[in-house]
């Protein structure tokens, strides 16, 4: 069949950085670049080396210093998977790149290809937009007592605004009618509560897009059962980490999904699978995951028309039963092909639309306005007390309270003692389990400051208490900025 001439959207080539990676990486990168170049992608590619060979030169994060210059210059990184060396002393390249270059949004489209790839969810077509930098992923952890460890969950207003706005802008640019937010704000009213509040605020700026919020547990259950009711989903980091893998898996093949890591300055595009070393060098691997990463890249750099052309040709190829070994199925597939032949089959179909699967339509000149808006006025912050956490192995709440009541706490008063978030004094429940980690809350109706914290800490320390941390209690514009203990 005669192919349409290649569409050239822009005469100017967009600079990108390309890494061929390890294992099957070079083969799937070759195939991907062949398809998108034939589709008309205008790219000025600079190649860098990452992964095994770099690790083996003793560079602990798998990327040479000189490669950062290329990433900062081009701001766009198409990356094949790498093999992470076994053993200690090595750092994750992905985490290093994501954190160093501030890639705050992880975007993962998950669409099923029924009946060509088996799935229980033939109508599924959703995109997970995961916050990529905050939440418990700061990795700020402490062991505080013999029995108790903690991990700090940080959710910021600017971080939440940025990811939620990205999700709405993505929905608008990609003609997706709904954005759903998942949080657990019935429990984490302050952290997840902020994320939800920001979602509701920003949703008002997008009256053309439907919005809804689900508590993450029932939302996740619904997504695993009836994913077709969702469209774009936005959520904090941890939920997004787990649920984006679930979503990819239930489309029927993790091997076909790509993902984007988006930052204000630099963005990275890749397959979600690894380097599959056992399949390397045999012309066996399916290039579709990286190809989907490349489609996200083309859309991101304003070459959506090329992405649409390549994507529709790929859908037609899948529909025509031209499959690599990993999705080949007797009775459904027509021809089992290698990596190169699969790429050639897609190239042959450029200009064609799928006949059974829905054709895709990319925004042609979408401009995503993710710039931060001016911050509102600062809230009036008032210091009203302190939680003092102690390591007290053989204590009971009444004896702790009795000892604390004898101390000079400035103008503050001991109001509650809790153990792992549950109130144990005053009027605790005898059935509550006590660990060796106690929180003693002092509150003041009058003026209170860090000096009063110091007074309380000094008095407690002199009395022999082992203080493992203090946490300031504040109100903001008169609203309490701290949680109550369960049972309070």
- Identify which of residues 24 and 296 has a Cβ nearer to ligand NAD in the complex: 24
**Interface residue with ligand NAD, options 219, 258, 289, 410 (CB under 6 A):** 289
Q: What is the CA angle 78-82-87, rounded to 5?
A: 150
- Identify which of residues 270 and 305 has a Cβ nearer to ligand NAD in the complex: 270
Shortest distance (Å) from residue 93 CB to ligand NAD: 7
What part of residues 447-476 is at the interface with ligand NAD (CB under 6 A)?
none
- Identify which of residues 250 and 285 has a Cβ nearer to ligand NAD in the complex: 285
Shortest distance (Å) from residue 81 CB to ligand NAD: 4
**Interface residue with ligand NAD, options 130, 162, 273, 349 (CB under 6 A):** 273
Give how many residues touch ligand NAD by CB under 6 A: 20
What part of residues 149-188 is at the interface with ligand NAD (CB under 6 A)?
none
**Interface residue with ligand NAD, options 62, 109, 227, 255 (CB under 6 A):** 255
**Residue 244 in contact with ligand NAD, rule: CB under 6 A:** no
399-406 contacts at long range (C-beta below 8 A, 24 or more positions apart): 400/425, 400/438, 400/440, 401/425, 401/426, 403/463, 403/465, 404/440, 404/460, 406/463
- Identify which of residues 85 and 481 has a Cβ nearer to ligand NAD in the complex: 85
**In this structure, are strands 422-425 and 437-443 parallel, antiparallel, or unpaired?**
unpaired
Shortest distance (Å) from residue 179 CB to ligand NAD: 27
**Residue 279 in contact with ligand NAD, rule: CB under 6 A:** yes
What part of residues 319-338 is at the interface with ligand NAD (CB under 6 A)?
326
Shortest distance (Å) from residue 285 CB to ligand NAD: 4
For residues 400 and 382, give the distance between their C-alpha atoms in angstroms, rounded to a whole number: 28
- Which of the ranges 155-163, 171-179, 282-290, 453-461 carries the binding residues for ligand NAD, by CB under 6 A? 282-290
- Which of the ranges 69-77, 281-289, 444-452, 466-474 carries the binding residues for ligand NAD, by CB under 6 A? 281-289
- Which of the ranges 109-117, 173-181, 277-285, 443-451 carries the binding residues for ligand NAD, by CB under 6 A? 277-285
**Residue 237 in contact with ligand NAD, rule: CB under 6 A:** no
**In this structure, are strands 466-476 and 479-480 parallel, antiparallel, or unpaired?**
antiparallel
**Residue 274 in contact with ligand NAD, rule: CB under 6 A:** yes
Mask of contacts with ligand NAD, 61-100, x by CB under 6 A? --------------------xxxx---------x------
Mask of contacts with ligand NAD, 10-49, x by CB under 6 A? --------------x---x---------------------
Which residues, in sequence order, are CB contacts of 235 under 8 Å at separation 6+?
Answer: 128, 129, 130, 131, 181, 182, 183, 195, 216, 243
Shortest distance (Å) from residue 273 CB to ligand NAD: 4
Shortest distance (Å) from residue 346 CB to ligand NAD: 15
User: Which residues lie near ligand NAD (CB under 6 A)?
Assistant: 24, 28, 81-84, 94, 255, 270, 273-279, 285-286, 289, 326
């Amino acid at each position: 069949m005669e192919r349409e001439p290649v569409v050239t959207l822009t005469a100017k080539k967009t600079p990108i950085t390309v890494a061929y990676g390890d294992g099957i990486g070079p083969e799937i990168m070759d195939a991907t670049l062949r398809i998108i170049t034939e589709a008309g992608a205008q790219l000025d590619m600079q190649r860098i080396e990452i992964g095994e060979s770099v690790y083996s030169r003793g560079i602990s994060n798998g990327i040479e210093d000189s490669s950062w210059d290329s990433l900062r210059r081009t701001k766009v990184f198409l990356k094949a998977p790498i093999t992470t060396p076994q053993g200690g002393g090595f750092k994750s390249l992905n985490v290093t790149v994501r954190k160093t270059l501030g890639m705050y949004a992880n975007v993962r489209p998950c669409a099923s290809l029924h009946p060509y790839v088996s799935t229980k969810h033939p109508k599924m077509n959703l995109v997970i937009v995961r916050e990529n930098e905050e939440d418990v992923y700061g990795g700020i952890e402490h062991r505080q007592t013999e029995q108790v460890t903690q991990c700090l969950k940080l959710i910021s207003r600017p971080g939440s605004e940025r990811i939620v706005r990205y999700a709405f802008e993505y929905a608008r640019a990609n003609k997706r009618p709904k954005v759903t937010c998942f949080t657990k704000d019935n429990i984490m009213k302050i952290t997840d509560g902020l994320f939800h509040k920001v979602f509701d605020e920003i949703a008002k700026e997008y009256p053309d897009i439907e919005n809804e919020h689900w508590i993450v547990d029932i939302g996740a259950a619904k997504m695993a059962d009836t994913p077709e009711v969702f469209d774009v989903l936005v959520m904090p980091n941890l939920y997004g980490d787990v649920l984006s893998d679930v979503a990819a898996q239930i489309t029927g093949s993790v091997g076909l999904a790509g993902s984007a890591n988006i930052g204000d300055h630099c963005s990275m595009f890749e397959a979600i699978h690894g380097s599959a070393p056992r399949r390397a060098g045999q012309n066996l691997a399916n290039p579709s995951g990286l190809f989907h990463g490349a489609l996200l890249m083309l859309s991101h750099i304003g070459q959506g028309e090329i992405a649409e052309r390549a994507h529709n040709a790929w859908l037609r190829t899948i529909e025509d039963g031209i499959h690599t070994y990993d999705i080949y199925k007797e009775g459904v597939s027509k021809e089992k092909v290698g990596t190169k032949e699969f790429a050639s089959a897609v190239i042959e179909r450029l200009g064609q639309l799928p006949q059974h699967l829905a054709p895709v339509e990319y925004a042609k000149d979408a401009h995503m306005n993710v710039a931060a808006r001016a911050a509102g006025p600062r809230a009036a912050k008032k210091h009203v007390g302190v939680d003092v956490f102690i390591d007290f192995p053989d204590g009971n709440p009444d004896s702790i309270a009795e000892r604390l009541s004898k101390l000079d706490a400035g103008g503050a008063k001991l109001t509650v003692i809790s153990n792992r978030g549950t109130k144990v004094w005053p009027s605790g429940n005898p059935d509550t389990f006590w660990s060796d980690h106690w929180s003693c809350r002092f509150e003041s109706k009058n003026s209170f400051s860090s000096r009063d914290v110091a007074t309380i800490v000094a008095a407690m320390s002199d009395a022999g208490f082992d203080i493992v941390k203090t946490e300031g209690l504040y109100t903001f514009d008169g609203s309490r900025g701290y949680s109550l203990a369960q049972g309070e």
